[in-house]
Amino acid sequence: MCRHERATQPEIQFYRTESRRNGITMNTRGLRSQLKDSVPVAGMCPQGAYGVQDSLRSGFTSVKNELLPSHPLELSEKNFQLNQDKMNFSTLRNIQGLHAPLKLQMEYRAARQIQRLPFLQSSHLALDTLRGSDEAIGFEDILNDPAHSEMMGEPHMMVEYKLGLL
């Protein structure tokens, strides 16, 4: 007679360090690092007031926006500037003390807040100068520049959306 007891079965563990299959012990620590480094995709389907996507404000959906990183280096490249800033801040803290990274972070925050109206392109020249990236030309400076896009949004609607009036 076969007896099934669902209440006494142990729960499946997702983060096991070792698993045994056919007498072979396999270490799965590498899988934990991949799960830990993955970034959840937030806002995959923004909803409007009636449960339908608001295409007027958020644009059309794209499958490209819903994909997770396909290569291990893609996540690293997306977070390169953040990692570079963290490394610079820790170096500054070790060399000059706690005040240096705090002062630099306040200057970054102030430089990020300087912008033109939402429908005009901001150059963020002060932020580039603080980071030292004003002397280098990269792909991000030339390719995919929003100032060279084929379509422009309605200025009044963009300002109202930025101010939270819509």
In a domain, 5, yes or no: no
Structural domain count, the chain: 1
73 Cα distance to chain centroid: 14
Whether 97 is covered by a domain: the verdict is yes
More confident residue, 42 or 87: 87
**Residue-level pLDDT at 65:** 67
Boundaries of domain holding 85: 80-134+153-166
**100 in any annotated domain:** yes
Could you tell me the pLDDT band of residue 83, with boundaries at 50, 70 and 90?
Answer: very high
User: CA-to-CA distance for 133 and 51, rounded, in angstroms?
Assistant: 42
Whether 62 maps to a domain, the answer reads no
H or E element that contains 18: strand 18-21
Q: Residue 9 domain-assigned?
A: no
Query: pLDDT tens-digit profile of 55-76?
Result: 777 777 777 767 777 788 888 8
Residues comprising the chain, all counted: 166
pLDDT tens digits, 92-127: 999 999 999 999 999 999 999 988 888 888 888 999
pLDDT score for 9? 44
In this prediction the pTM is: 0.53
User: Residue 108 falls within a domain, yes or no?
Assistant: yes
| pLDDT, tens digit (0-9, with 9 covering 90-100), for 1-60 | 444 444 444 444 444 444 444 444 444 444 444 444 444 444 555 566 777 777 777 777
88 occurs within a structural domain: yes
Mean pLDDT of the 133-147 span = 82
Buried b (16+ CB within 10 A) or exposed e, 140-165: eeeeeeeeeeeeeeeeeebeebeeee
Q: Which residue has the tokens 């970034």?
A: 39
Which of 29-62 are b and which e, b meaning 16 or more Cβ less than 10 Å from the residue's Cβ?
A: eeeeeeeeeeeeeeeeeeeeeeeeeeeeeeeeee
Beta bridge partners of 25: 20
For residue 53, being part of any structural domain is answered with: no
pLDDT at 133: 87
